[in-house]
């Protein structure tokens, strides 16, 4: 166990031993707080006691290894209340067997701090008109993990309540009792505030890389046997085989009924936008292999809001053939290019726990 000491002279911040399971010499860390492990320099103007910093230690790889020139090892730097710092190595492929923490036993609202990573495409709702499932990473130091926020109607959000992917938000939420999945919470949207934003991949990688998993097969098997199994994850495929894009069949009869019911409700709030939710023009499915040795492949529908928004903003003037080419260029050729390290945000269905979909794509460059 190698040790270093913080050079800070401020007794309230970052003093004490820095412990790591890796030798510090020769390593070059990257951190969203401008940290360096070798000298243990952290942006002390913004880092308080109890803060958690994700740090990535990059070590040169052997030239004989052709996959990458660098080995990336994730570390978590925790600033303890007494000012000491502890650094532990995290696996780049997290375990699919780690069950999420159970929901609290009471319905008292909790203040959640969440890095938003997923905005799923909207679905028809009889009560809300349309609902969106939002997911992200719980940024609380004492309980890191995935969080699902549902239901959310983005049309009805005020200026102070709106947010984007990779915003960090704070919101009051209560456990979703009708949803057995441990990650699911019901947000109180009038309490939501955006507190920060991760603008680029360099800022996002320290937060998310430590929690990337390699086995979609394990996630699938665990959810088949336990309602308490992990229902949200970030999975890095061994190989992305393809993206199948086809015409969307339109809303089902039940979905159309929900839309009609919402539109014909008594107009209690005249300012609400009750324009019927339009079905997307296309749907898509990713086909990939995960890192499980016996993996025979996964085909999962793409439910990303960005996939639907891209169609509406960029493809209206194109015929079907040209539109499909553009969708494949964006969501396969670009996001899954060799120069990138794509991973899929995946989540399952509440009523069919064994059915997973791709909720979004994480695609930083190598």
Predicted local confidence at residue 306, as pLDDT = 95
CA distances from 158 to 152, 210, 272 (A): 12, 34, 12
Predicted local confidence at residue 315, as pLDDT = 96
Predicted local confidence at residue 103, as pLDDT = 87
Span 26-30, average pLDDT: 38
Smallest CA-to-CA distance from 16 within 86, 100, 111 is with: 86
The string of pLDDT tens digits covering residues 212-263 is 999 999 999 999 888 889 999 999 999 999 999 999 999 999 988 888 887 7
Q: Report whether 219 contacts 211 (CB < 8 A).
A: no
Q: What single DSSP character describes residue 104?
A: P
Decide which of 108 and 62 is more confident: 108
> CA 71, 74, 76: angle at the middle one, nearest 5?
155
Distance CA 82, CA 322 (A): 60
Decide which of 110 and 26 is more confident: 110
pTM of the model: 0.73
Q: Quick check: 135 pLDDT over 70?
A: yes
The string of pLDDT tens digits covering residues 150-199 is 988 777 665 555 789 999 999 999 999 989 899 999 999 899 999 999 99
Predicted local confidence at residue 156, as pLDDT = 67
Predicted local confidence at residue 273, as pLDDT = 62
Smallest CA-to-CA distance from 259 within 278, 272, 276, 279 is with: 276
CATH class of 110-197: mainly beta
309 pLDDT band (50/70/90 cuts)? very high
The string of pLDDT tens digits covering residues 2-16 is 333 333 333 333 333
In sequence order, what are the beta bridge partners of 77? 53, 87
Predicted local confidence at residue 271, as pLDDT = 58
């Amino acid at each position: 166990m190698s040790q270093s000491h913080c050079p800070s002279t401020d007794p309230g911040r970052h003093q004490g031993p820095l412990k790591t399971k890796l030798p510090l010499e020769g390593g070059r860390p990257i951190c969203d707080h401008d940290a360096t492990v070798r000298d243990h320099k952290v942006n002390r103007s913004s880092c308080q006691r109890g803060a958690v910093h994700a740090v990535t230690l990059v070590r040169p790889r052997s030239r004989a290894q052709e996959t990458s020139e660098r080995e990336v090892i994730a570390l978590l730097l925790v600033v303890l209340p007494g000012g000491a710092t502890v650094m532990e190595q995290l696996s780049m492929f997290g375990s699919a067997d780690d069950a999420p923490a159970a929901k609290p036993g009471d319905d008292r609202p909790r203040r959640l701090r969440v890095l938003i990573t997923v905005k799923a495409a909207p679905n028809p709702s009889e009560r809300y008109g349309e609902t969106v499932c939002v997911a992200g990473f719980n940024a609380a130091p004492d309980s890191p993990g995935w969080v699902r926020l549902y239901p959310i109607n983005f049309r009805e959000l005020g200026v102070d309540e709106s947010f984007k992917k990779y915003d960090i938000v704070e919101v009051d939420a209560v456990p979703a009792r009708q949803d057995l999945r441990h990650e699911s919470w019901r947000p109180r949207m009038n309490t939501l505030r955006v507190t920060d934003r991760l603008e680029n991949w360099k800022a996002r990688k320290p937060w998310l890389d430590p929690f990337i998993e390699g086995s979609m097969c394990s996630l699938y098997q665990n959810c088949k046997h336990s309602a308490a199994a992990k229902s949200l994850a970030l999975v890095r495929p061994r190989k992305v085989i393809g993206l199948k894009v086809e015409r969307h069949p339109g809303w089902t009869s039940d979905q159309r009924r929900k839309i009609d019911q919402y539109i014909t409700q008594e107009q209690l709030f005249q300012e609400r936008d009750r324009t019927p939710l339009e079905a997307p023009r296309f749907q898509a499915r990713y086909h990939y292999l995960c890192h499980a040795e016996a993996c025979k492949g996964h085909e999962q529908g793409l439910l990303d809001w960005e996939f639907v928004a891209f169609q509406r903003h960029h493809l209206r003037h194109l015929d079907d053939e040209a539109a499909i080419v553009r969708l494949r260029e964006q969501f396969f050729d670009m996001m899954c290019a060799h120069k990138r390290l794509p991973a899929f945000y995946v989540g399952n269905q509440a009523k069919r726990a064994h059915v997973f979909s791709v909720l979004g794509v994480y695609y930083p460059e190598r």
